[in-house]
Structures are given as structure tokens and as C-alpha cells.
Amino acid sequence: MVCLPSRWYSKDNSGYNNSKMSLSPFKPENIMLMPNLADPRTNALADQVCTYLTKTGVAVKTFHYDFENPGIVPDLNGIDLLIVIGGDGSLLRAGLFCAPLGIPLLGIRSGRLGFLVELNDSELEQKLEKLLKADYRLETRMMLKADLFSDDSLKHSWDVINEAVICRGNDVHPIEVRVDLNEGYLNSYIADGVIVSTATGSTGYALAAGGPILPPELRNMLILPIAPHLSLDRAVVLAEGAQVNLHPTIKHDVVISIDGMDPVLLAQGDRVHIQANRHSLHMVRFGEPNYFYRNLAAVMQRNPILETEKHD
């Protein structure tokens, strides 16, 4: 792993310092529950949470969201907390709704084990009681902004919580991606792809590709090649102020995917620009600040597929 010092980066970061602003814990009064429509186990959990919160006088709305086939976006006007019931993937999708509005996010697990979802069904009422007493922490996580340019014309923009991945498409051939930083050329990779990840994403695809695990509070960007061939095979960690440009050479199908969502086909002359997002994701946490390290070994040693099958 290579860490590049902050002196590499310019001071002009398009307002990224605004993303360091944090919220203080508060008693939520208007909560939206967002169970994953594709998982029938979320319905009973949503009913249980709704019943408890309603009895305490909290205003509750329920929006059954199809995370696998997104369509209608929930109306979060007046909502001060979003509770997602599902797995880490559901939490990522919901985070894209609430982060731009500054709405905190709480996850209740119904799926496989993961690093993001906070609660399980055995501790719901105990932790919901603490929630309504504002007895929790708000953990602020850095996000990225990825812009796709075609011959310097902006084609698409994405908010990124986990990672942006440029990789091969249908053709089973390595691709070439040139990576430039603010000051110029960094490296050219011949690989299955290149991952640009946040600290949150370091426990996702980047971890599976052999990357380092970064503590969630770090505001760093991670560049990691996927199965590199005769290329730099080390992860590179950049400071928050970094701005990265990725230039794929198109000889075969090359795609970009954001946070595991449907891939977008790239064309010759396309460029992906990535930098720190002015928005941050605020997550409700009940554990001690060192929870990440205490849970790390437990999550890494348990097979999430087998864990899911136990509950089926």
C-alpha cells in the first residue's frame, strides 16, 4: 500500500471542506421506515419498529422500496431520520437519498452480515429506546463525486458511498486505464479494472480485491487495481483533497459501475473525474467509538452466506 502526502494536492477542492460538518445527536420526531421490498423478512421488522415508535408519539411513515429495481424516489420532506431495513446493499442505496439532505441513516439487518447495518432483531426495542433519548453517536462518512465526461462534455454525475469501478465488460480481456492526479500522471494499469474507493468502500469490493481496510472515519480515497498484469499491484491511498482522472483505452467492452449499480458502457475518449463529495453520509451508531475494530474480526471470520442460510 502506498500513501501519498497531502502536499500532492491543490487547495481548490470545490467546497469539499463543507463535508466535514457534523451533526449532534437529537431525538427524532419524524421517521421514515424503508424496508426492502424484495426481502419478505423486512415486513415483520418494519411492523415491529412502527408499532414501538408510534406508541412513543413519533410520527412514522413506511415506504416499501424496491432496491433491486429502483423507480420511485421516496419523499423525504420533513423527515429527520431514515431507518432502512435490509442489508448493506439496501443501506447504500438509501444513503444516496438522505446524504444530500443531511438526513441521518440507521440500518436494521434482515440480510447477510455486513459492516454497515447497525441493529438486528434481538436488540430493537433496547436500541430504539436509546435512539429516542438521543443516546447515540452520529458517524460522518466521506463520499465521492464521480463525473463522466465524453470529450470534455459532462454526460453523467454520481454520488458515491462505496466505490466507483472501471472494469471489463462482456469480453474477458484485461483493460488499460491511465490514472492522473492533480499534478499529472500517476500510473497506467493493465488489469481487470480499477477501483476508486472511500474508507467505507474499503470493506466492500476493494477488500475482496486484496485492498487494505481503512477505518470508517478516515477521509481518504483508495485506488486499487483488480487482478493487475505487469502493473503496479499496490493500493494507493490519497488524501481527501485529491482529484483523480481515469482514462480507459477502449479496445473491448469497458464499463463503469457505482456502488454495485447497473454498469454504464464507456466509449473511447471518455474520462471519469473523481473527487471528495461536498455531502457526507451521517450514520446512527450506538456502540463505542472502537466498535469497528471489535467487530472486524467477527465479521471477517463468519461466512455471510452460511449465516443467511441459518435464518432461512
Decide if pLDDT at 12 tops 70: no
124 and 226 assigned to the same domain: no
266 and 290 assigned to the same domain: no
Q: Scan for cell 431495513, then name that residue.
A: 85
206 and 242 assigned to the same domain: yes
In a domain, 17, yes or no: no
Write the CA distances from 270 to 189, 191, 205, 253, 267, integer angstroms.
Answer: 16, 18, 23, 13, 6
pLDDT of residue 105: 97
In a domain, 8, yes or no: no
pLDDT of residue 231: 80
**Least confident segment among 56-70, 128-142, 157-171:** 56-70
Q: What is the pTM of this model?
A: 0.86
Which residues have CB under 8 Å from 289's CB, separation 6+? 137
Q: Are strands 184-191 and 175-181 parallel, antiparallel or unpaired?
A: antiparallel
Higher pLDDT, 293 or 198: 198
* Domain count along the chain: 2
Mean pLDDT of 193-197: 98
| Torsion of Cα atoms, 281 then 284 then 288 then 289, to 10° | 10
Which residues have CB under 8 Å from 87's CB, separation 6+? 36, 39, 109, 110, 111, 112, 114, 117
Mean pLDDT of 93-121: 87
Mean pLDDT of 150-171: 95
pLDDT of residue 255: 97
pLDDT of residue 183: 81
CATH of the domain at 186: 2.60.200.30
42 and 121 assigned to the same domain: yes
51 and 167 assigned to the same domain: no
Between CA 258 and CA 52 the distance in angstroms is: 36
101 and 162 assigned to the same domain: no
Q: Which of 63, 75, 116 is nearest to 304 (CA)?
A: 116
pLDDT band at 111 (very low <50, low <70, confident <90, very high): low
151 and 275 assigned to the same domain: yes
In a domain, 205, yes or no: yes
Alpha carbons within 13 A on the beta-carbon side of 53:
25
Alpha carbons within 13 A on the beta-carbon side of 85:
27
148 and 269 assigned to the same domain: yes
Decide if pLDDT at 17 tops 50: no
CATH of the domain at 67: 3.40.50.10330
| Torsion of Cα atoms, 264 then 268 then 269 then 271, to 10° | 30
93 and 70 assigned to the same domain: yes
Q: One of 12, 66, 75, 88 is an active-site residue; which one?
A: 88
120 and 52 assigned to the same domain: yes
SS3 217: coil
Decide if pLDDT at 9 tops 60: no
- Which range marks the domain in which residue 293 is found? 24-136+286-310
Decide if pLDDT at 112 tops 70: no
In a domain, 61, yes or no: yes
Residue 262 among the catalytic residues: no
Give me the count of residues in the chain. 312
Residue 108: burial class (beta carbons within 10 Å; 0-12, 13-18, 19+): buried
Q: Scan for cell 439496501, then name that residue.
A: 90
115 and 197 assigned to the same domain: no
In a domain, 5, yes or no: no
In a domain, 2, yes or no: no
242-269 per-position pLDDT tens digit: 999 999 999 999 999 999 999 999 999 9
In a domain, 18, yes or no: no
Decide if pLDDT at 180 tops 80: yes
Decide if pLDDT at 126 tops 70: yes
pLDDT of residue 295: 67
pLDDT of residue 226: 96
Q: What is the mean pLDDT of the chain?
A: 87
Between CA 63 and CA 70 the distance in angstroms is: 13
pLDDT of residue 14: 39
- Find out whether 185 and 8 touch, Cβ atoms under 8 Å: no
Decide if pLDDT at 13 tops 50: no
In a domain, 13, yes or no: no
pLDDT of residue 227: 94
58 and 169 assigned to the same domain: no
